[in-house]
Amino acid sequence: MSSAALANKVIVIVGGTGGLGLSAARACVAAGARLVVVGRETESATTAVAELGGAAHVVAVVGDAADPQTASRAIAEAVAHFGGCDGLYHVAGGSARRQGDGPLHELTDEGWRAVIDLNLTPLVYSNRAAVRHFLQQGRGGAILNLGSVLGWSPSPRFFATHGYAAAKSAVLGFTQAIAAHYAPQGIRANVLAPALVETPMSRRAAGDEQIRQFIATKQPLDGGRIGQPADCDAAVVYFLSDESRFVTGQVLAVDGGWTVSEGQYPNE
């Protein structure tokens, strides 16, 4: 893949001011893209713009991804500053464990609403805004949605958040449905599905010694470790670039072997 795979591309990253999104933003800028990054906090948005090369290359939009207008504003900024929008990467999401997500018999109504409001509704909003823009623009575009291996490859002891699994499974079905519908218009949609990656969301798991021992066998690649955001960056650039112009409706697990490994529980 060319080191300038995203030259002349304008990309919107929803959730691009921290974690997986910020790491992807660095990779996109390095590949030649101009960016609009969306985050909820002014401070992190300002820091991201400075780190990524300043306003000549990156514009930040502060807003909640759950607001249906946020992605539309971000795309409007892309058009105003850079002349268009060629791709969307939706990263924003999170755990609703504190709100009551968990095993089904313990899942609260509040937890269910929270997990859908965090992981599915905002993604639908951003994808809708992108598709509307791509159709109006008339030259297609690329959508990449962040899923999770938990959408189809469960881990019952340590990762039993069934609302989250349902939401991430829905991301797969939704993405493939829009990929099929809009392919004739040159609009591509794919899913990137990591396993356990070291981000603010994964602090609980990363700090649990039993889970770390489990991950050593469940994600056995590269010494059996928790993933790093940068492990996903090359895939992001690929899916948003013309290198993947013949690829749509696909799910790529960047998972260290999670989906093909049994995983051994500690002390068993």
Please give the positions annotated as active site.
164
d(CA 68, CA 90): 14
Residue 70, phi then psi, degrees to nearest 5: -65, -50
Neighbours of 3 (CB within 10 A): 10
Q: 200 exposed, middle or buried (CB, 10 Å; 0-12, 13-18, 19+)?
A: exposed
Q: Return the structure tokens found at 167.
A: 């939401």
How far CA 206 is from CA of 202, 211, 212, 227, in Å, comes to 6, 7, 6, 10
Alpha-carbon distance of 104 to 112, in angstroms, equals 10
Sheet holding 141-146: strands in order across? 58-62, 34-39, 10-14, 87-90, 141-146, 187-194, 251-254
